[in-house]
Amino acid sequence: MDFCHTDEEKIEEEKKSFQRIITAFMFYRIHSLNRIAKTINYLKSLPEQHQRLLINYNNSLETIRHCVDYNYNVILEMIKDTAYLFENQNTPSLDGWHSTDEYKPIESDLEKVQSTLKQFVRDWSTEGIEERNTCYKPIIDEILKEFPLESVQPSDIKILVPGAGLGRLVFEIAKLGYTSQGNEFSVFMLIASNFVLNRCRGVNMYVLYPWIHQCDNNLETEHQMQCISFPDINPAKELPQNAHISMAAGDFLQVYTDKDEWNCISTCFFIDCANNIVAFIETIYKILKPGGIWVNLGPLLYHYSNVFDQNSIEPSYQVIKEVIKGIGFRFEKEILNVPTKYAQNPQSMLQYEYKSVYFVCRKPKFPLTLAPSTSENEINENGIGFLLDDEEEVSSKDFRGDNDDQDAEETN
């Protein structure tokens, strides 16, 4: 992945950022086992009668330790050879890493590793089919309606998916023959999506235990240790030979500056990731071709609303709709209160459900006078191309986990 920088300090800063993320992945096992050990030690301090009553609970903790090892083995495969993707040097070596305490990741990065594991459920497992059907299928159906395969040359239709996560929506669009590009800011997500899209060459090759870190609201002990297999399909075989698919890394506002470039922008659980949502909407309008459509589905769980060192605005959907119209879009479809979930454990006693908004807007066909454009740099010639912007990852709320109870509805 080519950074193309001239500022040596900036290069060093980005290397450290990448190293920090790889370190968080590598520290997963130690961090998880320490958490389990803390519980076991407390359990041993309880009265003997209590310990006897909790013998099955103690046994389950030992089982979870084995599940951590399974997850860690997958993580090691996932981060193997990632340096070539980002062209970083001096990343922590995997050899003998268990014996060193040199690298200390921050707590928020360790939480993102756990969240990344849950993204495999949503995007690349059979257990995620329901979520994909409610979140991705309406977007795909609208694309097929707007650009019928029998009426267009699909590869001529350029579709962008900002906030692509692990890339399943990008993949499904490319599978239909359209030119599909995903954009993702989180390096955690980019590493995981690269692993699935470029390195998984079979069906259900790997096993994960995504829920072992959810200690609350388990009806049965085995629910916490429920495993999933991924990928549910072979990405290499499912894509047509001439598929046009790529992933671009970086800040959406920085990467996409070329006006009138895309036939369709598809945003799923994305627009609330902005400090300033108006800037997102302006950019979407700018980069869409005249006559192009913007398809959106998601809630308004503003990512920076409670981050003390980040600025944020949190307008209601009513206000956002006024902004969308004011910028120049024309609403063609709108559905409120669409029930959707995000990386939800289906067996948990606590279920969060969003009442999402689904809409389709069109950019009218008239000339635009906007700023000159710049282009991205292709950074991976083999497999599915990954592109990189200059910006460093800064988000502290990249993922929607089980604690995302703001603007969510408890349905249990």
Span 145-193, pLDDT tens digits: 999 999 999 999 999 999 999 999 999 999 999 999 999 999 999 999 9
What's the DSSP call for residue 190?
A: H
- Residues whose CB falls within 8 Å of the CB of residue 308, separated by 6 or more in sequence, listed in order: none
> Residue 357's pLDDT is what?
99
Full-model pTM: 0.86
> Residue 385's pLDDT is what?
65
**From the CB of residue 387, how many other CB atoms can be counted at a distance below 10 Å?**
21
> Residue 16's pLDDT is what?
80
Q: Which of 206, 137, 126, 146 is nearest to 172 (CA)?
A: 137
> Residue 308's pLDDT is what?
87
> Residue 299's pLDDT is what?
98
> Residue 243's pLDDT is what?
94
Residues of the chain with pLDDT under 50: 1-6, 88-89, 93, 95-100, 368, 370-371, 373-382, 390-412
Q: Domain locations in the chain?
A: 8-410
- Residues whose CB falls within 8 Å of the CB of residue 144, separated by 6 or more in sequence, listed in order: 176
Pair of tokens at residue 75: 């993580």
Give residue 244's region: left, alpha or beta (phi > 0; psi -120 to 50): beta
> Residue 147's pLDDT is what?
99
> Residue 86's pLDDT is what?
59
> Residue 14's pLDDT is what?
75
Q: How far is CA 148 from CA 133, 238, 252, 289, in A?
A: 20, 20, 28, 18
> Residue 87's pLDDT is what?
52
Domain 8-410, CATH class in plain words:
alpha beta
Q: How far is CA 378 from CA 86, 225, 279, 385, in A?
A: 12, 40, 25, 7
